[in-house]
Amino acid sequence: MSAAPSSHQAALRLPSLDRAAVWIVLVVLLLLAGLASDAFFKLNYLTNLVRQAAPIGIAAVGVTFVMLLRGVDLSVGAVVSMSAVVCAIVMDGKPGNLWLGIAAAAACGAAIGAANGLLIAFGKVSAFILTLGMSIVVYGLVQMGTGGTARGIVSPGFREVLNGRIGGVLPVLVICLLVAVAIGIFLQSRTRFGRSVYLIGANPEAARLAGLPVNRITVIAYAVSGFFAGLGGLALLARTGVSGTNPGAGMEFDVLAAVVLGGTTFAGGRGGVGGTFAGVLVLFIALNLANVAGLPFAAQLTIKGLIIIAASAAHSWIGRRASGRTQQ
């Protein structure tokens, strides 16, 4: 009998540990980084780090929603590429096309996302394989559109504004990332869509029986993911200035690593955009540390893979412990 209260305590403690884990990791990592190089405590360096993280961070906000749904979106890297290319081509160096280019990029992203969502919701297929296939299709379309060379010029002002720093301190891209995170948190906690995503992810069958519009929410979630990937492409374009042909190559790994680090695992129904934001910061500090330590760039790929494996193993372990205790 005496075991009952303690198991209740554990059940209460573990889910909150789940949510806090990534923030604890973030603080510890930042302190360690500070020991390795005091640059990590300088405001300029830190804001620069977050600025670098903006394209991946913005895309990760969208992917968080499909992961909460037990889905996954591996097409974000290709969508980021497409968005950057479409935006640069539509802008064509003319100031008047600025907003048109931005709208076209975001719309293309949302359209690809919606296509993913429709195929997954109504085709009942593996999101993993489908979005991998979609990333090949999108990559091919981008290459067909560009003919394999960098095309298009950004409108004057686009780079200047987005790369500026407000008051000479706070980069505009950091604000863009924070706004994206704020929109994500609003969507997940203040809208019916957000709550439905959690319920469907936690138990799709129960959600369906309870009358939630599972298919519609799925399509919207993938469209949101594509939309944010489109915005991520814009952020990337602002940073580089030229569209290239495949600037988003491999970005899906960074995004996935960040989301999983943030506590939104492949099991769905747990985690959220706030954790994803912390996950992005942890990932970038870790990759920066690897750079400072003099590891070759290729080592970063290995580190990302290990982070994906270790973080999802750790979070599912916490989840198992928590649910195991409550069942007892």
Partner 1 sequence: MRPFAAGAPAYQRLPRIYWALIALVLAGTIAAPQFRTASNIANILEQSGTLAVLAIGQAFVIAGGMIDLSVGQLVGLITVLSCMLFEAYPSMTLPVVAGCLGLAALVGLLNGELINRLRMSPLILTFGMLSVLQGCIFMLTDRSIGQAAPSVAFLSNGRLAGIPVSLFLVAAVAIVAYYALQRSVFGWHLLAMGNSADSSRKAGLNLAALTRIAFLVSGLCAGVAGLLVAGRLGTGFPNAGNGLELDAIVAVVLGGTPLKGGRVSVVGILGAVLFLGVLNNLLNLLQVPAFTQIVVKGAIVILAILADRPGRLAQAA
Q: What does the binding site for partner 1 look like in residue numbers (CB under 8 A)?
A: 119, 123-126, 128-130, 132-141, 143-144, 147-148, 253, 256, 266, 296-309, 312-313, 316-317, 320
Which residues, at least 6 apart from 42, have a Cβ–Cβ distance to it below 8 Å?
none
Minimum Å gap between C-beta 69 and partner 1 is 16
Minimum Å gap between C-beta 254 and partner 1 is 10
Cα separation, 117 vs 59, in Å, equals 16
Phi, psi of 125 (to 5 degrees): -115, 170
Cα separation, 241 vs 73, in Å, equals 26
- If the CB atoms of residues 51 and 304 are measured against partner 1, the closer one turns out to be 304
Minimum Å gap between C-beta 129 and partner 1 is 5
- If the CB atoms of residues 231 and 322 are measured against partner 1, the closer one turns out to be 322
Are residues 221 and 69 in contact, defined by beta-carbon separation less than 8 angstroms? yes
- If the CB atoms of residues 104 and 308 are measured against partner 1, the closer one turns out to be 308
Minimum Å gap between C-beta 137 and partner 1 is 3
- If the CB atoms of residues 29 and 314 are measured against partner 1, the closer one turns out to be 314
Minimum Å gap between C-beta 133 and partner 1 is 3
Minimum Å gap between C-beta 293 and partner 1 is 14
- If the CB atoms of residues 15 and 133 are measured against partner 1, the closer one turns out to be 133
3-state secondary structure the chain: CCHHHHHHHHHHHHHHHHHHHHHHHHHHHHHHHHHHCHHHHCHHHHHHHHHHHHHHHHHHHHHHHHHHCCCCCCCHHHHHHHHHHHHHHHHCCCHHHHHHHHHHHHHHHHHHHHHHHHHHHHHCCCHHHHHHHHHHHHHHHHHHHHCCCCCCCCCCCHHHHHHCEECCCEEHHHHHHHHHHHHHHHHHHHCHHHHHHHHHHHCHHHHHHCCCCHHHHHHHHHHHHHHHHHHHHHHHHHHHCCCCCCCCCCHHHHHHHHHHHCCCCCCCCCCCHHHHHHHHHHHHHHHHHHHHCCCCHHHHHHHHHHHHHHHHHHHHHHHHHHHHHHHC
Minimum Å gap between C-beta 161 and partner 1 is 33
- If the CB atoms of residues 238 and 257 are measured against partner 1, the closer one turns out to be 257
Minimum Å gap between C-beta 29 and partner 1 is 19
- If the CB atoms of residues 123 and 167 are measured against partner 1, the closer one turns out to be 123
- If the CB atoms of residues 12 and 313 are measured against partner 1, the closer one turns out to be 313
